[in-house]
A and B are shown apart, each in its own frame.
Chain A
Amino acid sequence: MSVDGTDAAPPAPTTPRRRSRWAWLGRLWALSTGRFGLIVVAVVGITAIVARFWTPFDPQKVDIANRWALPGWPHLLGTDGSGRDILSLLMAGARTTVFVAIGAGLVATVIGISLAALGALTARWVRESVAVFVDILIAFPVLIIAMMISAVWGGSLWVVIWAVGIGFGVNIARVTRPELRRVLQSDFVLAGRASGLTPAQNLWRHLLPNVAPVFIVQLSWGMAVAVLAEAGLSYLGFGAPVTEPSWGLLLAQLQQFIGVHPLSVVWPGLAITITVLGLNLLGDALREATDPTLSRSPFATRRARLHIPEVVS
């Protein structure tokens, strides 16, 4: 995707669009779901950064004298069976969650965009076979992919990242491909081609910016899947190693004492649920705030884009 160095200055027509380019952010904030999603994502992200440097207690510090402390001071959410501070464990777990969500998002982006571009822009027989291939891959649940990978390489956070990345990348490809085909028919793409842009330049400058809204919505939902998958796979023992702080791992560890200390299990579950809910709602709101086709034919596109989250954990 090389752009020659001579055209560093932005072309003139983009200047009036500049103002509207960020307008969707305002629309996003105006939606209650969008605001909730943005706040949750910000809180989880900031927690992950803060936890990198500071947590109220050392999350792995064993303190037998204070085991199973109820929520109160100084252990705001209580302690677990070996006296570890649950709030600190949750904060440290946020780091793992953010790492997996971003990693899976990146893998899904690369796979999704590549497959969508292959499925939309190449010769007919290539793009038809890619489309069939994508349709087949979609039937593989993320968990099955994860098990295939961990049967070979053993469990780790990378298993989660690759499994969700592949699983959701295919999803992104399926949704983005028709959008790409649609944009491909536009006059401005034709104009771009006529004025001498190579296919790669055209893709980068005209096609991708125009499918970006659809793509970002999918990415937000994909990250929600990643958070759920991390929890589920870590719970099963295919995700985070025992030494890493992880919400799913915490659930598995607290589960053994669920009969005696049911309250402690509530916190990691709540953390996962709120994060996933935030990402899902952010995706919904992004779709509403950025959808350029909403005015065109709401009934035709709404159904095709209805988001059905996968069960992964």
Chain B
Amino acid sequence: MKGQKNLAKDTRKKQKHSRRETLSNAIMCGPITVWTVLFIILPVALLVFMSFLTKGPLGRIEYKFTLANYAEIFNPAYVNVVKESLLIAFWTTLITVLLGYPLAMVISKLKKKTSGIVTIAIMLPLWVSGLIITYSLVIMLNASGTVNTILMHLGLIKKPLQLLYNSFAVIVGMVYMFMPFAVLPMYSSIEKMDPGLLEASADLGASPAKTFFKVQLPLTSPGIFAAVILTFIPCIGYYMIADMLGGGKSMLIGNLIYRQFTVSRNWPFGAALSVVLAAIILIMVRIYTKLGGSMDDLA
């Protein structure tokens, strides 16, 4: 009790006698605080608000409270979209981690300098432009594209395969898009691991496979975990890839939301979908941070 009282006194006192300090703090914290309130918190609040409004005729919005927009999501057609999105995100994440982990291991075995260059080489295309990579994939997977041409030349197929505009293409695009970001945390967790532990395990008679599964995998699990988060989360919401490589046939949550604000002009429903999408992601992020993950690693 006494502590509480003194604490209150302390704060009051501090405010009183460091006006200049307060000013310089205000100059530093002010802009980002105002920015966050105005352009993040307020818009998100509006989005939630919008999700409870009613859609009027011609896309107008009526200020009538309703839960119908959320109920609408349980329409089987939309449930399927959510399922499809989660499924694609799941497969993408699985493939990304399965391909990325060995890659991270290989990089970590390289000389320091080489591994730096290789890491940059892997990051570079995405860093430059995800849009351009996605577009290049369209060229690759075309009916008359490089992949089909090569396969036909090799005599493996007679007529071009339908590689584009299906879920396969979307997953390929997503893996391309997110693998470099997933390799990074896995690489750094492998790098941080004490190689002596692997040697100790082998020294104690464990087979390489046993060493890998019993020692290396558990030790690098934080990196794998970060990679999963870094792949799964953007996957659910990213609609450009589905749009370009799925050819509109593969409808994901992102595309559905996009439609509500363009073609369908059902803003309240779009807002409700956005809120649900954001909620799913925030819950996953919460789990991630609760299990010891750092927000800073997601940048």
A joins B in a complex: no
Please list the residues of chain A having a beta carbon within 8 angstroms of any beta carbon in chain B: none
